[in-house]
Chain A
Amino acid sequence: MKKNELVLKKRKVGSRNSSIPFRGWLVICVSLMTLFLSPILASLLHSLKTAKDSAMSPPTFLPPTFSLENYKSLVNSSTGVISNGIYLYIWNSVVLAVITVIGTLILSTLAGYGFARFNFKGKELFFAAILLMIMVPFQALLTPIYFLFSQTGLQNSLLGLGLIYITYQLPFSIFLMRNTFMVIPKALGEAALVDGCTQFKIFKTIMLPLARPGVISVALFAFFASWNEFIAALTMISVQEKYPLPVILTLLTDRQMGATNFGFLQAGVMVTMIPCIVLFLFLQKYYVSGLISGGVKS
Chain B
Amino acid sequence: MKSTRNSSMAGVWFILPAMIFVLVFFIIPLIAVVVMSTTNFPLLGDVTYIGFQNYTDIFSDTEFHQTIIHTLVYTFLVTPPLFIVGLGTALLIRRTNKLSSFFRTFFFMPLVIGFGSAAFLWYWLLDPGTGYIPQLFREIGFGRMEKPILGYMPGALIAVILMVVWKFSSFQMILLMAGMQGIDPEVLESSEIDGAVKWKQLRYVTFPLIKRTLVMVFILSIAGSLLAFDQFFIMTGGGPEGQTQTMVFYIWRQAFRSFNLGYAAALSVVISIFLLLVSLIQLRYIDEKE
A positions within 8 Å CB-CB of B = 4, 8, 16-19, 25-26, 28-29, 32-33, 35-37, 39-40, 42-43, 46, 54-59, 61, 106-108, 110-111, 113-115, 117-123, 126, 129-130, 132-137, 139-148, 163-164, 166-168, 170, 174, 199-200, 203, 224, 227-228, 230-231, 235, 246-247, 249-250, 252-253, 260, 262, 265-266, 268-269, 272-273, 276-277, 279-281, 284, 287-288, 291-292, 295-296
Interchain CA distance A194-B228 in the complex, whole Å = 53
Chain B interface size, as a band, is 35 or more
Could you tell me if A167 and B21 are in contact, using CB atoms closer than 8 angstroms?
yes
B229 close to chain A: CB less than 8 A: yes
Mostly, the A contact residues are helix
Taking CB atoms, residues of chain A closer than 8 Å to B280 are 135
The contact of A29 among B103, B124, B135, by CB within 8 Å, is B103
In the complex, which residue of chain A has the Cβ closest to the Cβ of B43? A150
Mostly, the B contact residues are helix
Could you tell me if B33 and A144 are in contact, using CB atoms closer than 8 angstroms?
yes
Taking CB atoms, residues of chain A closer than 8 Å to B234 are 230, 250
B276 close to chain A: CB less than 8 A: yes
Interface pairs (22), CB distance under 8 Å: A36-B106, A36-B110, A39-B110, A43-B124, A55-B129, A57-B129, A108-B18, A121-B12, A123-B11, A126-B22, A137-B227, A141-B33, A141-B268, A144-B30, A147-B261, A199-B14, A228-B114, A230-B115, A249-B117, A262-B127, A280-B112, A295-B175
Taking CB atoms, residues of chain A closer than 8 Å to B25 are 145, 163-164, 167-168
Given A122-B12, A129-B22, the answer on whether A272 and B114 have CB atoms closer than 8 Å is: yes
The contact of B29 among A117, A123, A145, by CB within 8 Å, is A145
Interchain CA distance A120-B220 in the complex, whole Å = 31
Chain A min CB distance to B22 (Å): 5
B positions within 8 Å CB-CB of A = 7-15, 17-19, 21-22, 24-30, 32-33, 36, 41, 89, 91-93, 95, 97, 99, 103, 105-110, 112-117, 120-125, 127, 129-132, 135, 138, 166, 170-171, 174-175, 178-179, 192-193, 198, 212-213, 216, 220, 223, 227, 229-230, 233-234, 248, 251-252, 255-256, 261, 264-265, 268-269, 271-272, 275-276, 279-280
In the complex, which residue of chain B has the Cβ closest to the Cβ of A289? B178
The contact of A139 among B175, B179, B248, by CB within 8 Å, is B248
Could you tell me if A228 and B166 are in contact, using CB atoms closer than 8 angstroms?
no
Could you tell me if B26 and A276 are in contact, using CB atoms closer than 8 angstroms?
no
